[in-house]
Structure 1
């Protein structure tokens, strides 16, 4: 998904929540401005569904929230709200809010040509403000390629690049799975995602 400036009115979070309820599309709130969220390709949607299903099944009865692209994240310490493609929070503080979560330990963004620079740069800088975040997963929708930014015990972010044949290791929810599990049955030819 990509944020596109839609309106120049400065919104408070309360105005944003009320206003967005009346809209047909989803909008992010960044620096008091709303941005329409663009749609993704079929691969984009299928990958996001596979990941949320995988996380939810793995977590089972654990006291965690698995979020899809309809679950907002409040950027800690700000009035900014984003919609990642998937997220997981096991923090009790997120159980008392109904419109967003604030303390995810895992965030996933499925990449497209239009969103990749934003997801790797400015969006990740915002997400890193959350001390609970451990894993930030960036998933290609056009090739078998996943980048995992993972915070170590010292608080430094390490990057792991996964390709065909690799096993992805998510420290935040203690999950290991083959990368092919995300991509099974997808058409990854360039023409398949030309609309993204």
Structure 2
């Protein structure tokens, strides 16, 4: 992840500044990071997951969002752009600029962000009391790592590969792996 000219902001200043920018930027503890464009496979997989969730959550209080909506993690003094997220919290419906209470966050790995998605970003995401599941999607390995919060506030890994369905317990839905990786050529 590249720092955007080493700019430093308060969260409020970041929101005002970013609203004037053509490109997206994430914000972590005063620093602003430019987002790079995604590869086609990345966009297709994120779109597949969003579409599957949109269809399965229709008629529920839960709403899926795709990469252009910010996620505020107040406890980490950060704003991120997850690939997909789902909020079932009524307080998120009224905010047009970001959500703060996701139940599910999905990140599709890319070479430049894989370590951060598994490390620092997941550390920040775990500070969200509302977060129940965090999916890391590895296109190359055709694998979905589902980290699920336990009653003891630990995170348990459920690894999905092959033909298994990815179970999203927090939402009461499952996503077939074939649907997640639809239209992706075998490596």
Does residue 101 of the first structure (1) align with residue 95 of the second (2)?
no
Q: Tell me, what secondary structure is at the counterpart of 1:9?
A: strand
1:160 — aligned with what?
Answer: 158
1:132 — aligned with what?
Answer: 130
1:193 — aligned with what?
Answer: none
Q: 1:188 to 1:24 in 2, by over 3 A?
A: farther
Match of 1:48 among 46, 49, 58: 46
Structure 2: distance between partners of 1:51 and 1:101: 19
Asked if 2 retains the 8 angstrom alpha-carbon contact of 1:88 and 1:107, the reply is yes
- How many angstroms does 1:166 deviate by? 1.1
- How many angstroms does 1:95 deviate by? 2.1
Structure 2: distance between partners of 1:82 and 1:167: 28
Ranges in structure 2 where 5+ consecutive residues have no aligned partner: none
- How many angstroms does 1:16 deviate by? 1.3
Q: Tell me, what secondary structure is at the counterpart of 2:7?
A: coil
- How many angstroms does 1:116 deviate by? 1.0
Q: How many matched pairs?
A: 187
**Cα RMSD between the aligned structures?**
1.3
1:194 — aligned with what?
Answer: none
Does residue 24 of the first structure (1) align with residue 22 of the second (2)?
yes
Does residue 63 of the first structure (1) align with residue 61 of the second (2)?
yes
Query: What TM-score does the superposition give when structure 1 sets the normalisation length?
Result: 0.90
Match of 1:88 among 86, 89, 97: 86
Structure 2: distance between partners of 1:188 and 1:109: 20
Q: Tell me, what secondary structure is at the counterpart of 1:139?
A: strand
Structure 1: distance between partners of 2:152 and 2:13: 39
Which deviates more, 10-19 or 65-74?
Answer: 10-19
Per-residue CA deviation, residues 17-74 of structure 1 (Å, 9 max, x unaligned), is 2211221110001111110011111110000001111111111021222110011111
Structure 2: distance between partners of 1:40 and 1:103: 25
1:182 — aligned with what?
Answer: 180
Query: What TM-score does the superposition give when structure 2 sets the normalisation length?
Result: 0.95
Structure 1: distance between partners of 2:116 and 2:20: 27
* Moved beyond 4 Å, runs of 4+: none
Structure 2: distance between partners of 1:72 and 1:164: 32
Ranges in structure 1 where 5+ consecutive residues have no aligned partner: 190-196
